[in-house]
Structure 1
Amino acid sequence: MSRNDVVAPEVRPSRDDLGGAIEFFASPDAPPVEWRIAEGLVDYESAVAAMEARAAAIAEGRAAELVWLVEHPPLYTAGTSARPEDLLEATRFPVHATGRGGEYTYHGPGQRVAYVMLDLGRRRRDVRAFVAALEAWIIATLAAHGVVGERREDRVGVWVRRPDKPELAPGVVAEDKIAAIGIRLRKWVSFHGIALNVEPDLGHYAGIVPCGIRGHGVTSLVDLGLPVTMTDVDVVLRQCFEETFGPTVGIADSGSGVAG
């Protein structure tokens, strides 16, 4: 890891970061953020290489900021805090060590991964607030679909209450995770990003302890009973992103060619 790198969510939002509106707008004269949607399943290692190249180009002023929406084939990723005991089935899917913050998570078809490459040096140099802004983006997207997503100060990501499930303890409502966050910053440019469960095979999470958090489940929009498609979600993700991070411009995607 470069000495210029910061990983999150080791840097967790504080209580102050969790309240009020969170905005990460660039200067008024900054170009819009490119918004690309990959077709088909994108190889994970190729995606990471493309992200790193694009982040470097953004830091050097050679490329615009970018949000890149992808789906991956089934796989597990291990963040910088991943513990070996949380990988329950090491041979179930490929396992990729990755430089993002966090622990083990699953990626696969039906999950919308948004890789977020923004220059916080031109926006706001506050990593905790940036993570909170990403959470707010997801929560707004869920709200547009009639789902109440919530933050938890001790658990990065976005959670939904499940009163339809057995209580965790008397009077304690069960909660499932619906979205994960794991980012890395290099020279104040972010990469990696968020993963929102639209309609993945939730059984695939059985091979790990998701994000190292025991005692809680995972869910998706379809699991909650919403008849949504990935296209539906993408439209709302873009609208809600612009409310927090500013305007975007749609760019046709050609696979992993996002380096510059």
Structure 2
Amino acid sequence: MEIKISHKPVPYKEAMKFLEEKVEKVHANIEDEIIWILEHDSVYTKGISASDDDLLIPNLFPVVETNRGGKFTYHGPGQKIVYFVINLNKREKEIKKFVRNVEKWIIAILKDFNISSFADPKNIGIWIKKNNEENKIAAIGIKVKKWIAYHGFSLNINVKKSDYRGIVPCGISSKGIINISDLCKIPNDEKINNSIKENFYKLFNS
């Protein structure tokens, strides 16, 4: 397993090109699987089930179509992006179980910082209940090709919430967005990255 950490923002299209090439190399057993931790500059991404009606302000940020599952989401400063390329040919070929494990992975990361969160079977992502309201703290988008699972998730650290105003995030208008910074003092970057890595190994290599 390769762990790649980028300390400067990576353009979204550049990241997608890397992932697509990595999928082919992992499938051909030329290269190892990867976890890639990074950040993007502000961008709206349009998943395969997105509706154009959910793009409210078309020119606020660049809009990029992507082949991941899901609808519109936002990526930008203050958000931790975790991409992966995982070979399900060498693991269990169960997509639903894999998605559940990704959810458990994010929940475990948040638990490391004493944050209680949950997955919603009806609305993909990870949610926080605060003041009787449900708010999304992490978005998940996954594609499986040749039994290689890729794309990943975004985790809100201290993202500017108004940057979401140009879209209906994940097609859900009735729920809000929340950051780790709304719930506790922001952990340092190294601690977050270590939690991402350690909880991956616990869940996926057990």
TM-score category, normalised to shorter length: over 0.9
Q: Does 1:89 align with 2:57?
A: yes
| Counterpart for residue 211 of structure 1 | 170
User: Which residue number corresponds to residue 71 of structure 1?
Assistant: 39
Count of residue pairs the alignment pairs up: 206
Give the structure 2 partner of residue 246 of structure 1: 205
Segments of structure 2 that go 5 or more residues without pairing to the other structure are none
Structure 1 unpaired stretches of 5+: 1-32, 164-172, 248-260
Counterpart check, 1:141 vs 2:100? no
- Does residue 121 in structure 1 map to residue 80 in structure 2? no
1:113·1:194 contact (CA, 8 Å) conserved in 2?
yes
SS of structure 1 residue aligned to 2:8 = strand
Q: What TM-score, normalized to structure 1?
A: 0.77
Match of 1:196 among 134, 155, 158: 155
CA deviations on 1:160-208 (whole Å, 9 max, x unpaired) are 0011xxxxxxxxx211000010011110011111111111111101111
| Higher helix fraction (1 or 2) | 2
Structure with greater Cα Rg: 1
Mapped partners of 1:62, 1:130: distance in 2: 23
The structure, 1 or 2, with the larger RCO (C-alpha pairs under 8 Å, 6+ apart) is 1
- Following superposition of structure 1 onto structure 2, how do residues 1-260 of structure 1 map, counting pairs within 5 Å? 33-163=1-131, 173-246=132-205
**Whole-Å Cα distance in 2 between the matches of residues 231 and 211 of structure 1?**
29
CA RMSD of aligned residues (A): 1.1
Taking the aligned partners of 2:155 and 2:68, their CA distance within structure 1 comes to 16
Q: Which amino acid aligns with 1:45?
A: K
Are the aligned partners of 1:198 and 1:229 in contact in 2 as well (CA < 8 Å)?
no
2:135 and 2:24 map into 1 onto residues whose CA distance is 36
User: Is this contact kept in 2: 1:108–1:200, CA < 8 A?
Assistant: yes
User: In 1, distance between residues paired with 2:43 and 2:76?
Assistant: 6
Q: What's the TM-score, normalizing by structure 2?
A: 0.97
Paired with 1:224 and 1:207, the residues of 2 have a C-alpha distance of 25
